[in-house]
Amino acid sequence: MQDAIRVLAGECAVRYEADGRTERDLRGDVVVVVKPDDTVLVHDADGYQPAAWLTRPGVVRYTRDARGFRIDAADGDERLVVESATEHGDAHYPASPAGPPVGACDCEGTLVRDGGRVVCVDCRESFAIPRDAAVLDDACPDCGLPRIRVERGGEVTACLDRDCEPIADAVRERFDGAWTCRCGAPLAIEADRGLHAACADCGDRFRLPRGSVADACDCGLPAFETRQGRRCLDDDCGQTG
């Protein structure tokens, strides 16, 4: 994916097809925006909604000749073709995710929250984080990046950069051996495609919920308070207290 938005303007013929039929056949002075994910938006003079668009098409072809430009975008049975009769402009502009600022990158650029990641709008460094994580104001003492907070058995904090201080290490340090399996053995915290509480004796293994331990479930395992309500560590248990 390129880190730029392409903007083209001109008097254009615009055709949108779906299932082999022409759904829109337009002509006018328009601005065409091609986003870094290849989404194509065609804007005319009216309102905020595009006159035509195709979201994240599988193929976008751009050609140019003496008459101007042509964009041909296709995705399955959908097709959007924009062909200029008169060209007014063609330019590239830097583009990045836009989100709430959450701190400073080590390049001194601004870090913004973009769903399940934090991105620097200057150097484009990207850090994947859990979607339920809160980005904190305090900085990591080792690398200077912001720290994040999640609930995995209780509140734990770690560095934004998982290579510096992984969430798994913070959870393991606090809760490894803190809970007891139904067989009576301690549960270890393991990181393998997510965090799990695992018993070395009986082999039981449970994915760690996003929440904090409240008390014990009737089955003997810890019970968690989550955003979806109270639940046992064992999602198949069905008991709530």
* Residues 37-69 pLDDT 10s: 999 999 999 999 999 999 999 999 999 988 899
Classify residue 81: in a domain, yes or no: yes
Read off the tokens for 121: 């709008």
pLDDT at 240: 53
Classify residue 153: in a domain, yes or no: yes
> Within this chain, do residues 61 and 106 fall inside the same structural domain, yes or no?
no
Residue 26: domain span: 4-94
> Within this chain, do residues 155 and 186 fall inside the same structural domain, yes or no?
no
| Alpha helices, DSSP H, located in the chain | 167-175
> Within this chain, do residues 155 and 213 fall inside the same structural domain, yes or no?
no
E-assigned strand segments in 166-207:
187-191, 195-199, 205-207
> Within this chain, do residues 86 and 26 fall inside the same structural domain, yes or no?
yes
pLDDT at 75: 96
pLDDT at 239: 62
Residue 2 clears pLDDT 80, i.e. is over it? no
Q: Kindly give the pairing relationship between strand 211-216 and strand 146-153.
A: parallel
H or E element: which one contains 181?
none
- Which CATH number fits the domain that encloses residue 32? 2.30.29
> Within this chain, do residues 85 and 114 fall inside the same structural domain, yes or no?
no
pLDDT at 97: 87
Residue 1 clears pLDDT 50, i.e. is over it? no
> Within this chain, do residues 76 and 106 fall inside the same structural domain, yes or no?
no
Place of tokens 């001194």: 108
**Pseudo-torsion of CA 209, 134, 167, 184, nearest 10°?**
-30
Q: Could you give the CA distance from residue 189 to residue 193 in angstroms, rounded to a whole number?
A: 13
Residue 93 clears pLDDT 70, i.e. is over it? yes
> Within this chain, do residues 160 and 194 fall inside the same structural domain, yes or no?
no
Q: What is the pLDDT of residues 123-147, one digit of tens each?
A: 989 999 998 999 999 899 999 999 9
> Within this chain, do residues 156 and 78 fall inside the same structural domain, yes or no?
no
> Within this chain, do residues 185 and 157 fall inside the same structural domain, yes or no?
no
Nearest to 11 by CA among 37, 41, 44: 44
Classify residue 180: in a domain, yes or no: yes
Residue 6 DSSP SS3:
strand
> Within this chain, do residues 182 and 107 fall inside the same structural domain, yes or no?
no
Residue 153 clears pLDDT 70, i.e. is over it? yes
| Main-chain dihedrals φ then ψ at residue 140, nearest 5 degrees | -65, 130
Classify residue 241: in a domain, yes or no: no
**What are residue 198's DSSP bridge partners?**
188, 205
Read off the tokens for 209: 């919920």
Domain count, the chain: 3
Task: Enter the pTM of the model.
Answer: 0.72
> Within this chain, do residues 113 and 133 fall inside the same structural domain, yes or no?
yes
